[in-house]
Each structure stands twice: as C-alpha cells, then as structure tokens.
Amino acid sequence: MNATSDLRTRAAAALGRCGVDLPDGGALAVTSPVDGTELARLPLHSAEDVDVAIGHAARAFEQWRDVPAPVRGRLVRRLGELLVEHKSDLAELVTLEVGKIPSEAAGEVQEMIDVCDFAVGLSRQLYGRTMPSERPGHRLMETWHPLGVVGVISAFNFPVAVWSWNTAIALVCGDPVVWKPSETTPLTALACDALLRRAADDVGAPDGLHHVVLGDATVGESLVDDPRIALVSATGSVRMGRLVAPRVAARFGRCLLELGGNNAAIVTPSADLDLTVRGVVFSAAGTAGQRCTTLRRLIVHRSIVDTVVERIGKAYSGLRVGNPFDEGVLVGPLVSEKSYEAMRSALDRAAADGGVVVAGGERVDVSGNGVYVSPALVRMPGQTEVVQEETFAPILYVLTYDDLDEAIALHNAVPQGLSSSIFTLDQREAEQFLSRSDCGIANVNIGTSGAEIGGAFGGEKETGGGRESGSDSWKAYMRRATNTVNYSTELPLAQGVEFG
C-alpha cells in the first residue's frame, strides 16, 4: 500500500489488529491532517454515559486498591508486552491522526513501553519511611495508599504517551482511570483501551479499571466536577488550566496540570555549533512545532548570532515538508487550518514589531487537504508581546544577548516555565544556568524536547506545576498517611503533655 492509499482502510486495519471494530457512524468525525481524509465517525458519550463510566471505575477501585501493588504491576507488565506486539499498529494510528513522521510516532509508542517498564519496577518500590519517635516504645512512620479514580484529559499532540504516563503509574498505585482523549485523536485512544482491557483479561484484573469517554469540553467538565474523580490530570492550554484548576479545587479534589510551554535555548560563544544546530533544528521543527517542549525562542550571543542564524537557516532549507508517509519527509502537517491561521497571525505581529523572517514561514503545497508549512526562523529586535506567547506552530524567534545574566533574564521573562536548555562548553555557564532557569526541565547541550521517562516531566509558572512519568511522580496518584504505633504498656503524650 503506497503513501497515497486509502488512509481510512489503513486506520481500520490497524484498529482491527488491536481488537477494535469501527462503529458504523456517529457525530464525531475523525479526519487525518495528512490529507483531510475522514478516517471514521464515532458516537459521542452523553453526560449519563460519563456518569456510568465513573461509577464503574469507582466500584473497581474498591477491589483494585486491596490488590497488592506487585500484583497490580502484572497488569502493566502485560500491557507493555501488548504494546510491543502492536507498536507498528499504534504508530500508524498516531501518524494518521496527528501527522507525525513514522519515526516520531514509533518513538511515542516506545515511550509507552518504557513507562510500563518503569511502572512495573515501581510496583515494588512505593516506599514510605520510618521516623524516630520522641516517645519510648512507639514507632512513627508514613505509608502510601491508593488515591481513587484518576481522570485523564489529554491533548492531540501526544495522543498515547501522556495517557500511558498517567495510566501505567495510576494502575500500579491502585487507581482506575477514566480517559477523555482529544476529539482529534480518538482512534488511538480506542486502540489503547482495547489493549489494556485485553491485558486485564489476561491477568484476571477486575472489570472497570479503564474507560474511554469521547466528546467535547462538556465531557471533560464532567470529570472535572465529579467528586468521585480523586485526581484530574489534564494536559492542554493555559486557558484550559485556568478553567480546570479552580473547579477541582472548589470540591477539594487534586489537580495535575501540564499546560503551555514557551521554551528557550541559550547559545553561548563557546558552544559546539555542529551539535547546537542539530539540537535546535529538531527541537524547533520536530512534530511541525506542535510539542509542548518545542523550542520557540533562541537566545544567542551577539558575537555569533549571524553565524548561528545562517547555519540554522541552511538546515531549515534542507528540511523536507510533506506527507509523513513519504520517504525522507521530516516535517508533517499542522493539525488544522486554525493552527496555520494562528501561525500566520503571529508572523504578522512579529513583522509589525520589527521582526524579520529569514527562513520559512510559507504554506507548502502538498496533495490533498492537509495543512503544511515550512518552519519559520525569525530574527527579533527584542522579546515583544508575541514572543512571550506560545504559538503552537513551527516558529523560532531569535534574540541576542551580551552577557549571561542578560540571557537568563530574557529566558525567564515569559509566563511559561516548561523546558529550557543552554549550549555551552563552559562549566561555570552551565551550572549557573541550571541553578537559575525557572523551568521544570533544564538541559545542557541538548535541545528542549525529547524528555526521557525516568525524570519527572512538568513545569512551573503557567505550565501548571504538575509532574508526570518518572522520579517520585507516583506520589500524586496516592495518599499519604502518618502512622504512630504504640507497642509499649504506657501512654505518653507527645510534647510532654500531661492529661489526667
């Protein structure tokens, strides 16, 4: 089947291999950004459907929380095995629904496999701690317990990886999951749900541990407002986060937010420019600029800015933009016409501020109805209002600096705080940057995108403060209890209090 074959047939085949039969119709039209093909029509879930799903998950929690964590890990191990088996099917669906080039799509599925490995090990490492008690014959300790149903709201750009970060860890922590995927990418969600349900059957896990609910923002609101959802993990825009956080807080629920990023890299005079150009180009142009960790600002020392811009511009000219299924393509489509309009508006505003587009920024003609653009490289006279905003498209603004304090101040002077990097061979510069970057992720001599699952992923400021995936992010999915055990025959009170 060649690159221009019926994409609907390819989607149905990949879904079928994952155990999903496409329904005959529904109100949700799923179209591919590759060429505008309608891949499927799916029924939407009503408020009543969502209520039922949450109810099933809440009942499953009553059983699942009592299953020993290492036994819960067997479910995630089996899911990881099925993801390996269906890696190419899921990657195909990611390319069809998001437009990622196949290597990026396969990398996203590999991330799912990796986080399953991480979570299986974690199932034997949900450690509490024992602390010295001030009272003789007493033991003081902390223990961690399952939290409850987790509601996951995910974005289109990583349709399966972010779900797996949440779900693999939630399951080993003892929590069922109700997942609202982006309306743009429901097919990948159905495939993942089918594989997880198969894994649950294979290991004898309780029914109702996982549910997919399809719909618009009202479905997400149902998860946000329902007191049976103990944790809402939401990935999306800052605007969405401003709506979600106070509503969850109003019912004293928990939030884990992964919101906008306006990521920057500083390039110093000592930087290895070969390495720098490679890191910058992938971070800025990968996934057509539609990653939360996409590099959007490049802060370059004035003495080397002309050289750096020339080299990146040359690299941009060699990027092949087109159908992601075609050999040699590195930049696929934007997700929608609306994304292009936002990009065009940002470029117009940048020009009005004195910015100059030195490479890219044009619409690219590709067969079909996909929206394709060449990544834009824009030299700016300063960090104007448009530069401080996140435009979810491939625009890289170039700024200059004279000393590192100035560069770090420019870097931090945006509302978002997700990912950051510095390119330098000077150890002092590297350490100074790592201590002063206000982002959740700070790198040296690599770009801003491409995080591994072993480190906690997330950001500060308007990025929301959430942490997913590695390190001790599991604590967000559990509740902590402080326990005091008296094994003596006396009853001394803390702080020496006398009573009676």
CA distance 136 to 491: 10
258 catalytic per annotation: yes
* Angle formed at CA 292 by CA 291 and CA 295, multiple of 5 degrees: 75
159 vs 99: CA distance, rounded Å = 11
Contact 258, 232 (CB under 8 A): no
What is the C-alpha separation between 249 and 452, in angstroms, rounded?
Answer: 30
Nearest to 267 by CA among 259, 256, 279: 279
| CA distances from residue 411 to 7, 198, 286, 433, 438 in whole angstroms, order as listed | 42, 46, 21, 10, 9
* List 97, 108, 111, 258, catalytic entry: 258
Helix axes 217-225, 238-250, angle to 10 degrees: 30
Q: What angle do CA 372, 328, 331 make, to 5 degrees?
A: 30
Helix (H) / strand (E) element for 352: namely helix 337-352
CA distance 302 to 17: 54
What token pair was written down for 24? 């005959």
Catalytically annotated residues: 258
